[in-house]
Structure 1
Amino acid sequence: MSSTSSSNEPPSPTNSNGLNGQNGPVTFFVPANQRNTSKISAATHAASKLIERAMMVNSLPAGLAAPQQIPQTSTHAIVAAVINPAGQGILPLGSASSELLSAFECPVCLDYMLPPYLQCQAGHLVCGNCRPKVSACPTCRGPVPHIRNLGMEKIATNLQFPCKFAHSGCNQFFFHQEKVEHEEICEFRPYQCPCPGASCKWQGGLNDVMGHLMKLHKSITTLQGEDIVFLATDINLPGAVDWVMMQSCYNAYFMLVLEKQDKQEQGGTSYQMFYAVVQLIGTKKEAENFVYKLELSNNRRRLFWEASPRSIHEGVAAAIAQSDCLAFDTSHANFFAENGNLGINVTIQRVDGGMSLNR
């Protein structure tokens, strides 16, 4: 993340109209000891004007020279609405920054657009996710936006955007390079029901997942402790079958999944595979605090697997598809089964330095 000097001396703009040539960025600066609503609004207004100018320059028809006071090199200008006196970069400032950020809202999905920015000839933008879905500019009904707006991209580089899950409680802001990465692991993102094999369409917050499972999936048994035995009964049942159990330890809940799938070789011969995996009712970052161990043992035979649990955001489907779990066929299952029942020893351990979850 870029940072800005905490000196009380404001940097000098390159010229008076808020635009620069090749000499470097323009910064709209409000000193910490003079910061008030009117000054913030003035900085935001100036930044908004720069956005308008950048869009106007980019929307000029090919071959038409830009006005003298708006040189084409102004697309290199960068806006910094307000500088954090602690030197931590650009901070969001309520309604002032909301006014500035509104220029980056997609008119279709209303989410904040991230670079690259493509605009129509009239200067209207649409985000990269929505652009393939539209047949015309959603604002003016002109041709689909296709003109690259470098000015907006330079401005966006120095702005912080709110997380897309702000409405669910996330109050963090990020530079666009970090925004997408954060949203992949944001604890406020909606979660799907983690129960495999069920046609449950539930979505909700992470803190609501266990309540949902206990209310609508009461058949799932929960065992307490770091070491348990996951007993899958009737493993010789025909067709695809899922066995699910919950394990509670370290103030966290883990979902144990054993899935049997029908497979077919190229020659047409069919066979069955078993896949065992553990997922944490938590985020990917929280899952890194733990290790799970699965073991099958019987008659001096032993099959062992150790890995970090999946988060419920990742789910188990990808792990099973890639065999990134304890995988074995029917013949191996029968080595360890007794009377058609298969017991899997499950151990959950906390990684050194890992913290218990408080949820």
Structure 2
Amino acid sequence: MDWLEQFYDDGLMNKTTEPNTRASKWELEKEKLVLNNVSELLECPVCLTIMSAPIYQCPNGHTLCSMCKFRVKNCCPICRTDMGSIRCLALEKVAKPLEVPYECPLEDRGCKVTGNIPKLITHIKNHALAIMHDGSRIAIDFARPVSLNTWSWKLRVYKCYGCYFCLYIKRFTSSNATGDVAYIRFMGEENEAKKFSYSLEIGGDGQKLTYQGVPRSIRVRNENFLEEGMFVSPSFWEENEQEFRLKLKGQISQN
């Protein structure tokens, strides 16, 4: 695994012992063996990715990541017993030093909080940074004051399929185009994001735009977010100073 190899290589670079001695070679081999064993312990048996908190275990001790717990409908994929809600705290403790924290979905607005997904969700809820939704269906009525040239908009976070998704609408400006881009980001790793897709439709005053795509991970830094969402050009808006009512609809799907 790439992260494990990098972790191991970094450890080797920091070693001060002579690599030609038999003892130091044994120490390095032992360290590599330990890291390989840790990797096997933290590998989810369903999605085969490295687990991080929350990690669940069935009554027989088989472990599972939180996303796959939802996918298998709370049934252990190894022994077929009910998973319940038992957390494997020992394994979570092992995984914690290996976690790479996520940045807050509102990092572009100046938020500096980082952490795992449960921590970020708690942070977002406690500080009312987003409107939270349960379910995969998107249905929003909102207004855009044309004279202000900006959205009456707040980040939306959707909980579905045991995961969280962020719905953004951002202003895009370049030498070739100016408008607004609506897109969805997955709160998790990029390889997990590819297991989902989404559709968006925005309409008002007899006009309609549609888009279908695959969400990117919130880890991805992409200044040109025009490439990953639905572009709404200024010509879509009314040309007067009246408040323009819009309907945004969509669906998040599991592939």
The separation in 1 between residues aligned to 2:34 and 2:206, in whole angstroms, is: 58
Matches within 5 A, 1:170-319: 171-172=38-39, 188-195=99-106, 197-216=108-127, 218-236=128-146, 237-238=148-149, 243-264=154-175, 272-298=178-204, 301-314=207-220, 317-318=222-223
**In the TM superposition, what is the alpha-carbon distance from 1:248 to its structure 2 partner?**
2.1
Cα distance in 2 for partners of 1:229, 1:240 equals 16
Structure 1 residue 310, shift from structure 2 partner: 1.4
The root-mean-square deviation of aligned C-alpha atoms, in Å, is 4.1
Is the 2:142–2:152 contact (alpha carbons within 8 Å) kept by the matching residues of 1? no
The equivalent residue for 1:325 is 229
Do 1:288 and 1:309's aligned partners in 2 also have CA atoms closer than 8 Å? yes
Q: Report the AA paired with residue 126 of structure 2.
A: K
- Aligned residue for 1:194, secondary structure, equals coil
Note the C-alpha offset of 1:273.
Answer: 1.1
Contact 1:254–1:279 (Cα < 8 Å) also in 2: yes
Where does 1:110-121 land on structure 2 (aligned, <5 Å)?
none
Name the count of aligned residue pairs: 184
Give the partner amino acid of 2:248.
I
C-alpha distance 226-276 of structure 1, shift in aligned 2 (>3 A): same
C-alpha deviations, 1:131-184, integer Å up to 9, x for none? xxxxxxxxxxxxxxxxxxxxxxxxxxxx67949xxxxxx9328xxxxxxxx99x
- Higher helix residue share: 2
State whether residues 143 and 151 of structure 2, in contact with CA within 8 Å, keep that contact through their aligned partners in structure 1: no
Aligned partner of residue 234 in structure 1, secondary structure: strand
Deviations 1:211-255 (A, max 9, x none): 111123x04111222222234432532469864111222222211
Question: Using the alignment, how far apart are the partners of 1:161 and 1:326 within structure 2?
Answer: 47
Following superposition, the deviation at residue 341 of structure 1 comes to 3.4
Matches of 1:284 and 1:259, distance apart in 2? 21
Q: Counterpart of 1:343?
A: 247
Identical pairs, percent = 20
Which structure would you say has the larger Rg? 1
- The 2-side partners of 1:325 and 1:238 are apart by 20
Residues 188 and 206, structure 1, Cα contact 8 Å, conserved in 2:
no
Alpha-carbon contact 1:239-1:261 (below 8 Å) kept = no
Shift of 1:325: 1.3
Change (3 A) 1:282 1:235: farther
Displacement of 1:323 = 2.4
Runs of 5+ consecutive residues of structure 1 not aligned to the other structure: 2-47, 54-78, 82-94, 104-158, 164-169, 174-181, 266-270, 352-359
C-alpha displacement of 1:278: 0.4
SS at match of 2:125: helix
More strand by share: 2
Q: Distance in 2 between matches of 1:260 and 1:305?
A: 17
Alpha-carbon distance in 2 for matches of 1:319, 1:284: 17
Which aligned pairs between 1:160-171 and structure 2 lie closer than 5 A?
A: 162=35, 171=38
Q: Is the 8 A contact 2:130 2:154 kept in 1?
A: no
Counterpart contact for 1:275–1:328, Cα < 8 Å: yes
Paired residue secondary structure (2:228):
coil
Instruction: Name which structure has the greater RCO, CA cutoff 8 Å, separation 6+.
Output: 2
Q: Secondary structure at the match of 1:233?
A: strand
Using structure 2 for the length normalisation, give the TM-score: 0.57
Counterpart-to-counterpart distance in 2, 1:326 and 1:304: 7
Give the Cα separation in 2 of the matches to 1:209 and 1:160.
Answer: 33
Structure 2 Cα separation of the partners of residues 333 and 319 of structure 1:
22
Unpaired runs of at least 5, structure 2:
2-16, 41-48, 51-94
